[in-house]
Amino acid sequence: MGPTPAICIPTVLICMGLASTVWAQSPDVSSVPKVDTQATAAESTAPKPMAFTPEERAKLASPRSAADETSGLAGSQKFVPPVRLDSKEPVLLATTNEGPFTNLDLSSTLKYRRPIGFTRMEFGEIMSLPREQLRNLVRDMIYEKAIYQRALKDGITAETTGIKERVARQRDQIYQRSFYQQDVEPHLKEMDDESARQVYEATKDRYTRPEQLLAQEIFFTFYKSHLTTTGETLAEIAEKESGSKSAADRILRSDMIKYPRMPAANLREQVPFYDVRPGERLLVPLPENEITSATTLATRVRERAAKGEDFNELIREYSAAPLEDKTQPFVPDYEEMLPDLKVALKKVSRETSVSEVIKSPFGLHIFKVVDYRTTSTQPFEEVKSKIKIPEDILKANRENYRKDLFDRLQKKYNVKLNTEALKRNDDQGANPLTASTEIATAPGFTYTLEQFKRDMAPTMKSWSGMTYEERVNLAKGAPLLADYIIRKESEALGLDKSEEFRKELESAEIVEIVREYQHRMAEKRSEPTEQQLREYYSKNFDKYTSGVQVKVREISRRVELALGADRKNSDIDAAKKYLSQVRGEIKSLEDFEQRARRESQALSTRSRGGLIGTVPIEFRGESFKNQLEQLKPGEISQPFLYGNEVLIVRLDSLEPSTVKPYESVRSQVHRDYMREHSKKTGEEEKEAILKEINFELKI
């Protein structure tokens, strides 16, 4: 089981970080299920084939019978229903001599401590674990409980030396977390809220709402839709549908943009143009008489709207807007709107609820404003969460609160600083301070020079290298002193009387007692004999075998891989050609060294005559290893590309793989043996203890 509760404890009193956190357990995420996000994304978007027939799918959707659970759909897959750990009713997970262990026992324990392997998992993750991991979790928790009972019988308690001190440190952390939540956090929130308000007042213009308008529209179009047929031209369509060939210039494409189907006269020589094709959808201008009728109708509709007739009904009856729900109010986009429409809308928002009939190149418009708000500033409470407080202000808030808190509590609990000693520029001299010299005292508390110097070490300063003010501030912010005053204040506030505090402390005691018992169990395990160590060594030669070692030199030419493909390939070919020529001119080791010093572009090896050193043959990966395996000592490779370099390498020497003598690795053999043996023995002991208490999983 893990040593201490997996609870994030704010260490309120570390000098500059009131909200810093300490994890009370060693991290272990080996059992956290990993998620392949790419595969998950692909699975969620890819079309899913039908894996089962409709009958089979109906069977899967129906309640399971006992036969279903054993037979499975294909005969090899066993259906295992999920364990409902979130149930309000008890769900039996395991039994022992002491009785049942349910999901309620599990959740209440996990709130305060978790086994190793589960320490970094969120509570929700644990409660939805796959069945096999859940079984391991339950087994570990029952084992912890059994070990705890054995420890108590053997006289190991929270008062045992070592445990008592560790639990005391845990108690201080629980005090700090509780105090932070009850006192520090609310005060810091008040300070941050005030800082946010100051930022708001200084930057109010950022939170000003522009004029807001919500409108509806009745639209009478000046165009009608036309589907072209074989042989038609724009001029013929204009004459037939609009009454004039000149209207051809105003025929539009029936798409979102609605550009003119024929380019403007000044662009016709520059823009390719083809006449209409069969099946095109066009917007053709109405003839003049229909425009006149539409204008008369729009005027009448506007009068009815102005008299209070239901605007939504008028929209549904008359509007030609190409929308499924024509009555849906909209926010006008003034940037894209025609000037006449923009002026009309702004006028109607101030003077009346329904506009006059406004003419545009596309038709007639009647607007009704259904909501209008003038320019206004958003209230502070509405935008508070969006305000970013500068880091220096947040830091100052925490530092000011820390200083005020320490000053207040140190005064309240009668903390006295030895200012006479702290004023000394030198702690040595004729009358030196000693390790036991008291730097700070309070009822039941002493802080000595030895402890002060331990806290001084991280500052990288000496006593004489600090000013008096720096020494005072260091003493005031000492972790031991902080623990003392927070403990006193927490007790005064009655935080240690809460059920939550009691359970957290009890959990810390259980973890420390279990750890101590397991440590004593490990110490009782016998040391291996020399024969056992040699047998282990013989069975695990691979652990004590040195790999192939090579002594290698290189001459390198860099290439620029970021260039285009043609340029890159040209550079690589040129580098290979150059190094091939160099290779042909090298006749000895001395020649290689001289050419490397003169011409290699590998800066780390050039000054050493290209020497990389004696290294494992696989030190640069598989491709480099393949080049070396083709060489005998004294041979030089052909040029090859490695990363952004073209290389030739010389194999100076090769030392084959060898088993290290037992005597040279005995200490390593002992460590490996004890680690594996202890793990195996520990598992055997665990199974024996669980068997002794009649442990039985029920999931």
List beta partners, residue 474: none
Lowest mean pLDDT among 204-218, 266-280, 339-353: 339-353
- 284 alpha carbon, distance to own chain's centre: 56
* Integer Cα distance of 68 and 81 in angstroms: 11
* Integer Cα distance of 13 and 17 in angstroms: 7
Q: What's the pLDDT band for 33 if we cut at 50, 70, 90? A: very low
Q: Which residue has the higher pLDDT, 359 or 562?
A: 359
* Integer Cα distance of 606 and 645 in angstroms: 14
The CATH fold assigned to 548-656 is Chitinase A; domain 3 (3.10.50)
Closest CA to 506 of 147, 139, 161, 5: 5
Q: Is 208 exposed, middle or buried (0-12, 13-18, 19+ CB in 10 A)?
A: exposed
Secondary element (H or E) of residue 174: helix 163-179
Mean pLDDT of the chain: 84
Secondary element (H or E) of residue 376: strand 376-377
Q: Which one-letter amino acid corresponds to residue 452? A: F
Lowest mean pLDDT among 42-46, 198-202, 590-594: 42-46
| Contact in structure between 233 and 280 (CB atoms under 8 Å) | no
Three-class DSSP category at 611: strand
Lowest mean pLDDT among 164-168, 374-378, 442-446, 617-621: 374-378
- DSSP letter at 242? I
| HSE, side-chain direction, 13 A CA sphere, residue 681 | 15
How confident is the model at residue 62, as a pLDDT? 37
* Integer Cα distance of 672 and 67 in angstroms: 48
- 580 alpha carbon, distance to own chain's centre: 50
Query: Whole-model pTM?
Result: 0.52
* Integer Cα distance of 649 and 556 in angstroms: 9
Secondary element (H or E) of residue 106: helix 103-110
pLDDT tens profile 605-630: 999 999 999 999 999 999 999 999 99
pLDDT tens profile 270-302: 767 788 889 999 999 999 999 999 999 999 999
Closest CA to 234 of 286, 291, 283: 283
List beta partners, residue 388: none
